[in-house]
Amino acid sequence: MKVVKFGGSNLKKREDISKLVKVIKSYNKPLIIVISALYGMTDTIISTIENVHRDYQSIDQLQQTLLSAHKAILSDYLHDSSEIQQTFSELEKRVEEMKRFLLGIHYIGEAPDFVRDTVLSYGERLSAFTLYKILNQLNIDCKEATPEEIGLLTDGEFGNASVNFDKCSCQVASFFNDDLNYIVPGFYGISETGKVNLFGRGGSDYSAAAIARCVKAESLDLWKDVKGFLSADPKIVPNAWNIKRMSYLEAAELSYFGAEIIHPRAFEPLKPDNIPLNLFNIDGDLDDIKPLTVISSTAVKTSFIIKSCSYTDDIGILKLKGPGVGVKPGILADVTNAMKLEGINIKSVLTSQTIISILLSSTDIYKAYQLLQNLDVHGVNEVEIQDEISLVAIVGEGLNDTHGIAAKLFNAISRKGINAKVVSMGVSDVASYFIVDSHQRNDAIKSIHEEFFNEKHR
């Protein structure tokens, strides 16, 4: 079977559903369809969870938002009055289930992990139900299949779980045994104790990849609203090139370093069986459907080595200063353990004799700073924050074993008068990165693109 995933960006407008239906019909074979929440719904639910303890009215507001959005889409396809009544009644029942969890958050004044994960799963539950009803109305043979029903078991971690393939692969594969389309809500799995566990933000890609591995799918087809992976952000480099073929490792590094096209962990489940990931554009020519980027285990080395230049502004540096901090045993262990206990993820660490530089998400940098101010780590005399910075990464097969790449890279940015504050090369086989002031980020990317992506290499 093929596993096909539609993201929230495919579900921005009521008329987007007609594109999904056209794509599903074009396959002309049974599919496992994984679907995200309607565009913007996850953010709306998160906002309600954060406010509901002090604002009871936000529950009713969310309830009306969810019902209005899904009923509007269903109304375009349901015409029989009894069918409309039955469908709307089922929709309202599911929203009412979610409401009970929100009432619990309101009354206890906080959202326990298992409750938060459960509430957030309703965006996908409702969109899957909506698509199922629409396809059924169009006489496309289909069935709802929730993670609970198919047995998509996780490691039990809330918020950022992983699928336990050893325990669930056979069960999941045996579920999809009928010659019809299955509609699966993405974003979550189920712990062995029956609790809902989310796969992290954007985790529907990971859901689809996990199911693809369990059923040993022919391919995983992701439908997005972008033109595949490109050589740079087209908002910065309008003439960016399309990347037709990439390895899992290259795509994962690009995703990690800011190319928010595919969830960075979506490639993990596909590797063992070399299941290709095909990236399609829902806004492209749906009469001539071809993947814009194909991602597999095959490493393709191009003549200009670099495939793409990516970036993220979600970065900050925490500098721990003191004589000998880089060589004194225990300092880094104390710091990283304290951050782990506070749920702070460390992106990278670079050390010297007198400074330990820790790269963190910009949303964590001040939390980490306050933590270390109160920690009193022996040997650290000063803690300093460096923010308003951007991380720029170059990715490509052969990057770290090809002579002259580093020279070309730093020639490109030096011509623009840009100074790299932190440089990391050789940590990954296919990626290197450096840090610049945020206001210089665009110039750096443009100059790198001009340096490496020459027309004669097309």
The answer, yes or no, to whether residue 287 has pLDDT greater than 90, is no
Angle at alpha carbon of residue 68, lines to 223 and 159, rounded to 5°: 55
Query: Which candidate, 209, 217, 288, places its Cα nearest to that of 26?
Result: 288
Average pLDDT over residues 394-416: 88
Residue with tokens 């009354």: 107
H or E stretch covering 334? helix 331-341
The answer, yes or no, to whether residue 251 has pLDDT greater than 60, is yes
The dihedral built from the CA positions of residue 6, 8, 9 and 12, taken in this order, carries a sign that is positive
Predicted local distance difference test score (pLDDT) of residue 372: 87
pTM score over 0.85 = yes
Report the distance separating Cα 172 and Cα 35, nearest Å.
17
Predicted local distance difference test score (pLDDT) of residue 458: 44
The answer, yes or no, to whether residue 55 has pLDDT greater than 70, is yes
Give the rounded percent of residues in the chain with a pLDDT score beyond 90.
66
At 242, list the tokens: 């399309």
Is pLDDT larger for residue 355 or for residue 454? Answer: 355
Report the distance separating Cα 176 and Cα 343, nearest Å.
37
The answer, yes or no, to whether residue 456 has pLDDT greater than 70, is no
Terminal-to-terminal C-alpha distance of the chain: 35
The predicted-structure confidence for 325-359, as pLDDT tens digits, reads as follows 877 788 888 898 999 998 899 988 888 888 889 99
The answer, yes or no, to whether residue 457 has pLDDT greater than 60, is no
Band of residue 286 on the pLDDT scale cut at 50, 70, 90: confident
Report the distance separating Cα 197 and Cα 261, nearest Å.
23
Predicted local distance difference test score (pLDDT) of residue 399: 86
Band of residue 455 on the pLDDT scale cut at 50, 70, 90: low
Domains of the chain from N-terminus onward: 2-225 (3.40.1160.10)
At 67, list the tokens: 């019902």
The answer, yes or no, to whether residue 426 has pLDDT greater than 70, is no
